[in-house]
Amino acid sequence: MKAAVYENPGPPTVLRYADVPDPVCGPDDVLIAVEAISIEGGDLINRRSTPQQSPWIVSPTRICSKLSPFTGSRAIASRIPRTVCSS
């Protein structure tokens, strides 16, 4: 998958669009296909300080998206709405 990432703290120019590993869907999980994210205040604070890992993936803190067809073995797909919003 693609994500906004950075290796070192700094101005917006440190951000780059890069390939990152696909998330793993656990048995109780539902995979959300993120179509767009907004970069929020917490992302700006994190980018200005030392990242916890490298590359640091800008998190989808406020997203509205459609579900992917992937659900964990114990997730009940029929009870999950097709469009979700996370905050």
What is the per-residue pLDDT across 52-87, written as a single tens digit (0 to 9) for each? 666 766 665 555 556 566 677 777 766 666 676 665
Q: How far is CA 57 from the centre of its chain?
A: 7
Count of the separate structural domains present in the chain: 1
Question: Which residues form the domain of 79?
Answer: 2-86
DSSP H helices in the chain: 41-48
pTM over 0.75: no
CA distance 76 to 71: 8
CA distance 47 to 77: 36
Copy the structure tokens of residue 58. Answer: 């800008």
Does residue 4 contact residue 58 with C-beta atoms inside 8 Å? yes
